[in-house]
A and B are shown apart, each in its own frame.
Chain A
Amino acid sequence: MAIHEILIQQLFNGLLIGSFYGLVAIGYSMVYGIIKLLNFAHGDIYMLGAFSGLVFLSIVAPTIGAGWGSLILGMLISMLLVGLVGVFIQRVAYRPMLKAPRLSILITALAVSMILYNTIMLLSSGRFLPFRTEISTESFFLGPLRLTETRVVLIVAAFALMFIMHMFITKTMYGKAMRAISLDRDTCQLMGIDVYKIIALTFFVGSALAAAAGIMAGVYYGTIHFYMGFLIGLKAFTAAVIGGIGIIPGAMLGGLLLGLLEAFGTQIPFIGTVWKDVFSFAFLILFLIFKPNGLLGRSESERM
C-alpha cells in the first residue's frame, strides 16, 4: 500500500468512527443545550442500545434470521425502547433536580450511569458478548479503498441519521421549541411552550440516536460489553466540546473531526494505537484552552 492509499483508508476509517462519535455527541449536546446538564449516563444509553439490539436479534434470529432486515427492525425497536428509557430516566432522575444546583444534577447523572452499567453487568455476568449477524464480511475494493458491506451500510446509515436529525432541529416546530428552550427556558414557558414535554422529547431523540450508534458499533465490532459506553461517553463529550457544546451541527462536526484526528494521529510514527486516547483528550484540552466555545460556538459567560 502506498502512502496515499493508507491515507484514503484512514480517512474512511476516521469518518466511520467519527460518525459513531457524532451520533452519541448529538444527544450529549442537545441535553446540555436544553437543561445545561452534562449527561454522563449518555454513554451507558449507547451501551443499552447495543444490548437491546442483541436481545432483539437473538429472539428473532431463529425465525427471520439476522440479516439486514431484522437488523433494521431491531434498530428501530431498540431506538424506541431506549428512547423511552431515556425519557423515564429524565422523569425520575433529572426532572426533580432541575431547580437544584447544577452540581447536584451532575452527580445524579453519574449515579444513573453507575446504575445502568452495573445492572447490565449483573445481567450479562460481566462478560463480553458476541454480536452475531449474518451479514457478509467479504471485503471488496473501491479504487484503493477496502470496504465491506457492513462498513458501507453503517456509514450511510449514520450520515442519514445525522441528516434527519439536522432537518428535525432546523425545520420542525419541535426543533424550534428545543432551540428556543436552550436560549431561555423561562421565557419559553411564559410563551406557552410545554417545556417539560420538550425536555422529555429531547431525551427521547438523544437516547434513540445513541441506541442506534450502539447497535451499529455492535455490528461493526462484533463484540459488546457492559462498560463499552464509558469511553465513548468521554469521546462524545470531547466531540461535543470541540464542535461547541449545545450546538447540534457542532456535535456532528466535532465527532467527525475527532474520528479523523484519531485515525490520522495513530498513523504518525511513534504515536501508535496506544496513544490514541491521549491524542484525542490532548485535543480536548487544547480546545478548552484556546477555543473553549468550540468550532461553532458563540461566547457565553457561564459554563460547567
Chain B
Amino acid sequence: MFNLKTHWLLLLVAVLFAFAAFGCGEEAADPVDDDPAEDPADEAEFEGEVLIGIMVPTTGSEAADGTDMENAALLAVEEINEAGGVMGHRVITTTGDDGCDPSMATAAASQLVSEEVVALVGGYCSGATLPTLAIYGEAGIPFVIAASNATSLIDENPGWGFMINSTGLDQAATAVAKFQELGVETIGVMDSGDAYSADLKEQTILQWEEAGYEVVADDTVQRGEVDFSAFVTTIMSTQPDGIYWTGYQAEGALLIRQLREGGYEGVIMVGDGSSAQELIDLAGDEAEGVLCTGPPLTDFLPAAQNFIQRYEESFPREPGAYAALTYDAARLLFDAMERAGSFDSAEIRDALEATDGFEGLAGPISFTDQNTLARSNFVILEARDGRWALVE
C-alpha cells in the first residue's frame, strides 16, 4: 500500500485543496458595496442628498445580469441628478451584493439597512430576494423589485416590496390567452423537473383546464436529458393542437427538433426559461415559428430603444435582459418620492402603493393589493429567420 512519503504528499494536496476552496469562498463573499454613483460635479446646486440602495448580484453566477441592473439604476440616477435631482436633492446610491444567494442576500440587506437607505431597487434571483423581504419590512424600507418574480415572493411580502415584473401566474395566463387566440383546444405540456418550470407547468394546466380545455399529454424530463422519443411518441398518438415547454433552452431545443422531426405540426410554445437566442441557434431551422412567452427583455421594448443607446454611451456593454425593468424601478421610485413630497420611507411606500399607470419602458405600472404588477408584462415572441421577434 502507500508508504509514508506518499501519505504526506496526499495530505499536503488535501490541505492545498482545502485552502483553495476556502479562498474561493472568501472571495465570493466579498460584497461590492462601495460603488456610489457620485458625480463630482457642482454640489452647491442641491439642497441635500438622498441615499437609495441597489440590491443585485454583482458576484457569482448571475453577476452579468446583476451588473447590468446596477448600471441601469445608476443611469437613472445620473439622469435625474442632471435634471436637478428629486425635489432639489441629489440622489446617491449604495450597492449591496446579494450574490444570488439567500445568506449573502441577508447580510447585504442588513448592511443596506444599517447604511440608512431611504428606499431600494433591484432584486434579481427570487431565492435571494425572498429572505430580504422580512428584513426590509421590519426596517420599514420600501423595495421596488425589478426582476425577481417567483410566486413565493407574494406570500412572504410584508407589504414593503413592490414587484414590477410579472409572476409565473401571469406567464401562464399569457400562454393560455395565446393558445386560445390561435384556436388551440388541446395541449401537451412538459417541464424539466425544477421548481420554476414545474410551477409554471402546474399554473398553465390549472388555468387551461379552468378555461374549459383539455391537457392530453403531461410529462417531465430531467435537466440534461437528450432523448425525448417517449414524449414525442405520446404526442403523436394524442395529437394535441399545441405544446408548451416550460423548461430551459438546452433541453427545449432538442425537444423542438425531435417533435418536428417526429412529424408534429402543431403550435410549439416555450416559457421564459427558453427565451435565450441559444434556443434558436441550437434548434436551427426547426425553431422557425416557435412561440415564446418572454419577459419584457430590453431588446424587445419599442420604448427602450432610446434607453439602449444612452446605456451603451455610459457603459461599455450591451444592456442585459433586465436593465430596462431596473431603470423603470428606479424611475418609479423617484416618481413616488415626488408624489409623496417627502423622503420619509413610510410615505414613499404609500405613494408606491398608490401608483396608477406610471409609464415605464416596459409599459404602465400599477399594483394589485398584493403589491404585484396589475397586468401581465409577458410578451409573445416568435422565432423568425433565426431571431426572436416581438409578436404584436
Q: What class of interface size applies to chain A in its complex with B?
A: 20 to 34
Q: Is B233 an interface residue (CB 8 A)?
A: yes
CB-based contact B253/A128 at 8 Å: yes
Interface residues of A in 14-66 (CB under 8 A from B): 17
Residue of B with least CB distance to A137: B261
Decide: A267 and B233 in contact? CB cutoff 8 A. yes
A127 close to B278 (CB less than 8 A)? yes
Report whether A137 and B286 are in contact in the complex, using a CB–CB cutoff of 8 Å: yes
The chain B residue sitting closest to A1, CB to CB, is B237
A146 contact from B227, B263, B282, Cβ within 8 A: B263
Encode contact with A along B264-284: 1 for CB under 8 Å, 0 otherwise: 000000000000001001111
Assess the B262–A17 pair: CB atoms within 8 A.
no
With a cutoff of 8 Å between Cβ atoms, the chain A residues found around residue B263 in the complex are 139, 146
Q: Give chain A interface residues in 221-235, CB to chain B under 8 Å.
A: 221-223, 225, 227-228, 231
* B80 part of interface (Cβ distance < 8 Å): no
Judging by beta carbons under 8 Å apart, are A273 and B260 in contact? no
Q: Chain A: which residue is nearest B218 at the CB level? A: A272
With the chains together, A17 CA to B237 CA distance in Å? 21
Of B193, B220, B231, B237, chain A has the most CB atoms within 10 Å of the CB of B237
Give how many B residues have a beta carbon under 8 Å from the other chain's beta carbons: 34
Complexed CA–CA distance, A148 and B254 (Å) = 16
A6 to B237, CA, bound (A): 7
> Contacts of B282 on A, CB cut-off 8 Å?
128, 130, 222-223
Chain B: residues with CB nearer than 8 A to chain A?
A: 1, 193, 219-222, 224-231, 233-234, 236-237, 249-250, 253-254, 257-258, 260-263, 278, 281-284, 286
Do B224 and A273 touch (CB < 8 A)?
no
Complex CA gap A179/B248 in Å reads 46
- Kindly list chain A residues whose C-beta atoms are within 8 Å of the C-beta of B262: 139, 146
- Indicate whether A274 reaches chain B with its CB closer than 8 angstroms: yes
Q: Confirm or deny: A71 has a beta carbon within 8 angstroms of a beta carbon on chain B.
A: no
Contact A272 B286 (CB under 8 A): no
Interchain Cβ contacts under 8 Å between A and B, 12 examples: A6-B233, A13-B230, A17-B229, A128-B250, A148-B261, A223-B253, A225-B250, A263-B230, A266-B230, A273-B220, A273-B230, A276-B230
Q: Is the CB of A223 within 8 A of B254?
A: yes
B229 touches A263 (CB 8 A): yes
Inter-chain contacts of A217 with B (CB < 8 A): 226
* Inter-chain contacts of B224 with A (CB < 8 A): 227, 231
Whose C-beta in chain B lies nearest to the C-beta of A148? B261
| B233-A10 in contact (CB<8A) | yes
* Contact of B229 (CB < 8 Å), options: A10, A132, A272, A277: A10
**In the complex, what residue of chain A is closest to B260 when comparing beta carbons?**
A137
